[in-house]
Amino acid sequence: MSSTYNPTEETINSILTGLLPVLIVGLFNGFEDTIEWYQYYSSDYKKRVIATY
């Protein structure tokens, strides 16, 4: 049984195993920084932060 190269499957595997965890960690760190500095934001900026997240 010979396996054939499937570029679509290879791309999906690369994204799921490599890039997706990096994206999740990056988004979490950004959200964590937002929560930490939230008390110092102006009221208009607070509304935009809430709408964004």
Distance CA 31, CA 10 (A): 31
For residue 1, the model assigns a pLDDT of 52
**Joined tokens for residue 10:** 């290879």
**Joined tokens for residue 19:** 């890039």
Query: What is the value of pTM for the model shown?
Result: 0.40
Residues whose CB is less than 8 angstroms from the CB of residue 49 and which lie 6 or more positions away in sequence, other chains included? 34, 38, 41
Distance CA 53, CA 44 (A): 15
For residue 14, the model assigns a pLDDT of 82
Centroid of chain to Cα 4: 32
For residue 2, the model assigns a pLDDT of 60
Residue-wise pLDDT for 1-53, tens only, equals: 567 888 999 888 887 888 877 878 877 877 777 777 767 777 777 778 778 76
The Cβ of residue 22 has, within 10 Å, a number of other Cβ atoms equal to 9
For residue 53, the model assigns a pLDDT of 67
